[in-house]
Amino acid sequence: MRKKQAQILIVDDQEEILFSAKMILKKHFETIFTANSPKKIISILNENEIDVVLLDMNYRIGFEDGREGIHWLKEIKTLSPQTVVILMTAFGKIDTAVEGIKMGAFDYVLKPWHNEKLLETIEKAVLESRKKSKKQTVITDEKRYFVGTSPKIKQAYSIAERVAKTEANVLVLGENGTGKYVFAEYIHQNSQRKDQPFVHVDLGSLSDNLFESELFGYAKGAFTDAKVDTAGRFEAASNGTIFLDEIGNIPLHLQAKLLHVLQTKTVTRLGESKPRPLNVRIISATNCDIKAEVKNKTFREDLLYRINTMEINLPSLRERKEDIFPMAHFILEQIAEKYNQENWRFDENVKPYLEKYPWKGNVREMENKIERALILADNNTISVTDLDILEFEEIQENDDNPLSEMEKSAIEKALFKNHGNISKTAEELGLSRASLYRRIEKYDLKNS
């Protein structure tokens, strides 16, 4: 029997599971990797083109809620989007596995498994990985990054292109959802380090007791569950870029540890005394007023100097109105491709509503609403109702607001076109009859 050309990674803290799964799979697939700790996932993904990860959901005694598996699922999706993840879980823990599928896992298998079922699931996952890899190769920079035409965003990307060619540390500022991760990746992809790892660390999600082990690594025996020597995120990013997201959330007592690493360009694993040299570029990001944090003495001034050789502000969507509709089109294309669908469009009435919606969650909120709308919409056309961007007028409008005039004009035109038919007008505008009646009262259009 000829083996399939595929690289499979099995991750489980039980050696008997690793041995058993490897014995089954190595008869059918070319390369099998095993890892007895999820901490090894990053380095294996950075060094190999893994097609499928068979990922256990629990790794610590007494913690069997599957949250670790969900965490590592997100990490794999970030580090290697073309890699397909199959979750392993015990019977009775299926709910968490189903949650994982909603978050991007391909499927799950129950332990103990049936060999035929395991093989069938992995074969399907390998095919899915091939599809993803094929798509990945045709994604151009233009397709991956939407810049826009507003002066503020063009200025930000212009600075990014210049600073990318240097080794300067960069601090990216901006509200939640403005695309700080994408922006940091853009800098990395335009740098001399683009062929080296880009490692993302969400500092806001790291608890105090995991901070050092996650970032700096640890030696075998450093603490109870430290069964093997493990590199931290800084070492995983060696010769590449580490993106320290939400750096403003680090507690003051841990900032000194991070500052020491940046100053000395070395890292010392927990349980070791010998520092290891680092060659890594630092990009940081935060949505907080970092200078106010320094003034309030909740963020170290010397750490701020280390991370912001160059400071770049990303504007909110409210500050780049002219980019809102083109960006919505860009996101719709991306999401339609994700679901293997074509020829999606926005209803002709959507544009003014997209432009006047406040977008407090910025690009992330837009992505969420468009993906939800694509799932709900009929006939490949997304309406205002599908987008759920209507019920916000109480927080923003007054009689002199030009947005109100725009809405009034749109309703007048639709009423005229439909000869005053409320049902047809409401349907065209993507409103409920009740919402349309409220607007007719508001704009005094009863006699129009």
Q: Which CATH class is domain 151-315?
A: alpha beta
- The Cα–Cα gap between 335 and 344 comes to 10
Looking at residue 411, its pLDDT comes to: 83
Q: How many CB atoms lie within 10 A of CB 160?
A: 21
- The Cα–Cα gap between 293 and 244 comes to 17
Helices (H), 388-432: 402-417, 422-429
Residue ranges matching CATH 1.10.8.60 in the chain: 330-382
Q: Judge contact between 87 and 108, C-beta under 8 A.
A: yes
Looking at residue 398, its pLDDT comes to: 42
Rg value, the chain, Cα:
25
The CATH number of 330-382, from 1.10.8.60, 3.10.450.50, 3.40.1380.20, 3.40.640.10, is: 1.10.8.60
Residue ranges matching CATH 1.10.10 in the chain: 402-443
What global pTM score does this model have? Answer: 0.60
Looking at residue 393, its pLDDT comes to: 45
Please list the pLDDT of the chain residue by residue as tens digits (448 residues).
567 888 999 999 888 899 999 999 988 898 999 999 888 898 898 888 899 999 998 876 555 567 788 888 988 888 888 899 999 887 556 777 778 887 888 888 888 888 888 998 999 899 888 877 654 444 344 456 788 899 999 999 999 999 999 999 999 999 999 999 999 999 999 999 998 999 999 888 788 888 888 899 999 888 887 888 888 899 999 999 999 999 998 989 899 999 999 999 999 999 999 999 999 999 999 999 999 999 999 999 999 999 999 999 999 999 999 999 999 999 998 888 888 888 899 988 899 999 989 999 999 999 999 999 998 887 889 988 889 887 654 334 344 444 456 667 778 878 877 888 888 887 777 676 777 777 787 777 765 5
Q: Is 38 left (phi over 0), alpha (psi -120 to 50) or beta?
A: alpha
- The Cα–Cα gap between 303 and 324 comes to 35
For CA atoms 419, 424, 430, 432, the dihedral sign is positive
- The Cα–Cα gap between 351 and 336 comes to 19
Q: Which CATH class is domain 4-139?
A: alpha beta
Q: Which amino acid does the sequence have at 134? A: K
Q: Judge contact between 315 and 359, C-beta under 8 A.
A: no
As a whole number of angstroms, the longest Cα–Cα distance in the chain is 83
Residue ranges matching CATH 3.40.50.2300 in the chain: 4-139
Spatial CA neighbour of 430 closest among 366, 348, 357: 348
> Check: CATH 1.10.10 for 402-443?
yes
Q: Using N-to-C axis directions, what is the helix angle for 402-417 and 422-429, rounded to 10°? A: 130
Q: Phi, psi (5° rounding) for residue 91? A: -60, 135
